[in-house]
Amino acid sequence: MIDPTLLAKLVCPATRTPLRWDAARGELISDAAGLAFPVREGVPILLLREARPLND
């Protein structure tokens, strides 16, 4: 779970657009970039090399 206050401040590192939380997969989604960023132990990992394409 991501704190809603934190989620409101997070942006995609590639596009600088807001992220949305996908609770089912435990990821932060950038619809603009087509990327999913992992969250490990409650910490968002907003590194492009750690992101996966949404079409996976």
Mean pLDDT of 50-54: 98
Residues 6-36: tens digit of each pLDDT: 999 999 999 999 999 999 999 999 999 999 9
pLDDT for the residue numbered 56: 65
Residue the block writes with tokens 């960023």:
37
- Answer whether 26's CB lies under 8 Å from 37's CB: no
Tell me the fold of 4-53: N-terminal domain of TfIIb (2.20.25)
pLDDT for the residue numbered 50: 98
Residue 56, CA distances (Å) to 11, 36, 42, 43, 53 in order: 21, 10, 23, 22, 6
- Residue 1 confidence class, pLDDT cut points 50, 70, 90: confident
User: Cα(55)–Cα(40) distance, rounded to whole angstroms?
Assistant: 21
pLDDT for the residue numbered 40: 95
